[in-house]
A and B are shown apart, each in its own frame.
Chain A
Amino acid sequence: GESVGLHLPTLSVQEGDNSIINCAYSNSASDYFIWYKQESGKGPQFIIDIRSNMDKRQGQRVTVLLNKTVKHLSLQIAATQPGDSAVYFCAESLQGSARQLTFGSGTQLTVLP
């Protein structure tokens, strides 16, 4: 069936370095993508989103890239900080699907001192 998956389950980076978290999606009809951050014991926190008519979007210290040709999504975090340690999920949404989100399996980001 259709699924959203992540290439790496864990990622460790040094504080101050840039982080790149990847996501592969299989439903080519998906038209909206969101990255969420989830800290332990808490609900997902919206980070950034991107629509399918875009290939790049920037926020504060974060950038999302969308490559529809290979159905790939990435989240780049600049100057990673200890507070960035969390699980990151990508989610996709399809127009006409009651706007339900399908979540990927998640990547645990650990920032090393």
Chain B
Amino acid sequence: GAVVSQHPSRVICKSGTSVKIECRSLDFQATTMFWYRQFPKKSLMLMATSNEGSKATYEQGVEKDKFLINHASLTLSTLTVTSAHPEDSSFYICSARIPTGSPYNEQFFGPGTRLTVL
């Protein structure tokens, strides 16, 4: 159980185009999903918290108009990188919180999406 998938696993796009990354919880419903960004040999940096049916909460310094997040259902959140530039190239990882009713944060992560902007 507790499987989170991401699609695509790798994407290469031209500068100026937009890219959509999907995050799905396969065997549970996730009211909250998180989007992270990771640079090579670095730690995960939280970009935003995605709540089903409401607007995402972005971390300081993350442009909400550039990184559009939609959490339209309890099993799907999408991250769209708009007008991508080479500096947006990174490893994007989503996670989903299991709504067990526990006050603790049991997150499970997707396999990540490698974005390369040419």
Contacts and interface: CB of A to CB of B under 8 A. Distances in A.
Interface of A: 31-32, 34, 36, 41-46, 49, 51, 89, 93, 95, 98-106
Contacts, number: 62
Given A41-B114, A43-B93, A46-B108, A99 B44 contact: no
Given A100-B46, A106-B43, A49 B106 contact: yes
B32 interface: yes
B93 A32 contact: no
A95 B103 contact: yes
Interface in B1-48: 4, 6, 32, 34, 42-46
A89 B112 contact: no
A44 B34 contact: no
A69 to B, nearest CB: 21
B107 interface: yes
Given A41-B114, A42-B111, A103 B43 contact: yes
A45 B112 CA distance: 11
A98 B110 contact: no
A62 to B, nearest CB: 17
Contacts of B108: 46
